[in-house]
Amino acid sequence: MPVVIKQKFQNWLLFLIVFLTLFFLWKNRTFQPSLDSVAVFSVHDGDTITVIINHHHESLRLLGIDCPESNQKYGPEATEFTRKFLGLDRNPETTVKLEFDNVVRDKYGRLLAYVFIPGDRMLNQALVSNGLAVKFSIKPNEKYKESFAELQKQAREKGLNIWNPKDPLPETPYEFRQKMNLDSK
């Protein structure tokens, strides 16, 4: 290979490597530890919402918990609870604060966060304490692991919703997804 062509090829290869490196750094960029005022666009289910960040719709999965699926027992109740907790039934322009943990996105590209409404009330905790979610920590995102475990214990002792001894949730959301071959959570 002539020296001139070899040099051009090396320059092009270097450019490609730098470009791809910058692209992947941008694509996997991390957010600040928190975002203080994020608009909520919609509620997909109890533990998944859509928010608007920098004029872009972002799917967001609540960290540390797992709600019943929409087509699972208690799923519609969890979805409605989330909608009401966020105030979407009263105000379509609801804003929330997001707090991130160590990993900001899951393998599906969704944001992973703890969601707070004004007054620093956390949606994730409210779902667990009302018996509409189970604790579901995935390392390294375990900031509130102990808090969720204690809230779940209290909800179970009170027999709330999925913990109702007369009408319990037959399987965890994870088990339900496995049974239904749903791999999107």
Q: Cite the active site residues.
A: 61, 69, 110
Q: How far is CA 152 from CA 81, 118, 128, 149, 182, in A?
A: 16, 23, 6, 5, 25
Q: Do β-strands 111-117 and 56-62 pair in parallel, antiparallel, or remain unpaired?
A: parallel
The closest of 112, 92, 94 to 102, measured between CA atoms, is: 112
Query: Is there a contact between 48 and 83 (Cβ–Cβ < 8 Å)?
Result: no
